[in-house]
Structure 1
Amino acid sequence: MTDFSVLDLVPVREGGSVAEALGNATRLAAHAEAIGCKRFWVAEHHTMEGIAGGATSVVLAHIGNATSTIRIGSGGIMLPNHTPFQIAEQFGTLDALFPGRIDLGLGRAPGAGPQLQRALRKDLHKASEYFPQDVVELRALLTSDMDLPIRATPGFGSNVEFWMLGSSLFGAQLAAKLGMPYAFAAHFAPDHLDSALAVYRRDFQPSETLEKPHVMVAMNVFAAEAEEEAQTLASSQQQSFVALRSGTPGKLKPPVEDYKESLPAQYRAMLTHLEQAAAVGTPEQVREKIDAFVQRTSADEIILCGATYDPDARLRSLELTLDACQKVPA
């Protein structure tokens, strides 16, 4: 049976604030827990006024206090932005606060221009070259599976579940080599989905924490009672995708009816391309699309993405999706 989780960027909407976005994230996490989702992940982004999850470990502590059973974690921490020791302390602290509930998803992409690199005091592109070694070091700092001259406290001996994130073959190959579960970001980069999953499963080497490959794939999902309503809900995130690709990112915009049809051809084509990892429509339509996606990927878990301008609409969308999917075996 397929498990369902939630990925949240802690979106800041036009007319809203960071404080409001953080409050909406905790409401969404509590709702996800109540309806049976397995995980709630927050993604690290920086210098984007429409995303409030930059201090990811702090946000997770806030969400942890608003929930009690759902696993919480990073989807992901961009390790080149940090030192392994810093992340070991942060996630070791989270594990001490919320034992047995912490996931640490790791990504390699620095996702930063020259200004952010200067602010972080790091050459992020050079740091990304050391990503495999940093992953091994970070895992050792938390699990004590190799001898290190220093211990992270908190951190050492923590029960943190490691995940490798990716949208290319690199992450798949590294996850396979290290025996880690693998999460693929198909919601914004679906091009290498099938080949990456094939490489991961083919080359997987069992580890002490994972005996066989375990795959989670991200989808954009918007469900509503009527298909037209769901399409309109999805337009806020579509506007964000277009703004990001055109170099003008900002806060989450209100929905626009028939938004896709108003776009130039290149942006319509981009959104159509992303629809291969999306399910938008009535609960029945969403269930059919998710089921087809699971059949295509053989995913063990689906992590649901999809920011809406109205936070209540996302709660309702998530509830409709889970209700529909639980009626039919995956």
Structure 2
Amino acid sequence: MKVVRASRLLSVLLLLQNRGRMTARELADELEVSVRTVYRDVEALSAAGVPVYADRGRAGAYRLLGGYRTRLTGLSEAEARALALAGLPAAASELGLGTVLAAAQLKLHAALPEELRHRAGELAQRFHVDVPGWHREIEHASALAAVADAVWHAKRVRVRYRRWDGSAVERDLDPLGLVLKAGAWYLAARCDGSVRTYRVSRVDALVELGETFDRPDDFDLADYWRTWSEGFERRLYPETARVRLSPLGCELVPFLLGSVGARALRETATSPDRDGWVTVELPVETGAPALAQLLQFGAELEVLAPPELRRRVSDVVVRMGSHYG
């Protein structure tokens, strides 16, 4: 408890040092404590000889006198780890590291010379990273913090996992790494001797088994994710459709079909004809999903092959035409 309070007192000091003047309410909101706790912390700092001055009145606030500065900015282990997520505050919060990251950034900011501190503030006001896409938020994954802890400390765990069809299974896992992809968290974990991928939002329960494991020396999370993603895309889009795309259709490909479609456009598109249309080999899903994928393009796409898919698209277009007379 003493360690927690000492860390908070340092945070109060660094906040006043960095921002110059803050009300008790602003300090309480920043530190996620009560205003009464802030009052006690400020009194403790004053008793320790830190020159904290309180402006009285309705607009009163705290500030440090005489340009007082401290160089006591050492990072804890958790804060040092959290800095890896400095550009992803929402992700840090999901992992349970939001307040830890804020404390680490505060300490780094306080250690900078005045000019660099000003530049860092300008950068934060000009650039921001927003991970989820427009049509989705970061998934709620109740087990995420526990999974992250198991990854960091190499703890073997038992999870109850909900598969895509809704059925539940139990798995003993060696958690190796976490990946945030388009607002969803994925866990790379060793199970029965091989590394597999699990969507963290589908982990319904997690129990630590009271033992640790040795990470494979040759495991590289970025390489694993790249290889797994490519295989997943091939499984997701097992069929190919030969299509003609108008200039507008080409512009729509990255928005409607993502990186898979964009890569196909880049690698397989023919030279434009006199009207600007190109022929492309597009990866598509099977059955009805493939039909839905291609109909998104409206009149900016024509299916050439396979013949069965062209016929199905034609049937839908005729039926739509009948709706509108």
TM-score, with normalisation over the residues of structure 2?
A: 0.21
Larger C-alpha radius of gyration, 1 or 2?
2
User: What's the TM-score once normalised by structure 1's chain length?
Assistant: 0.21
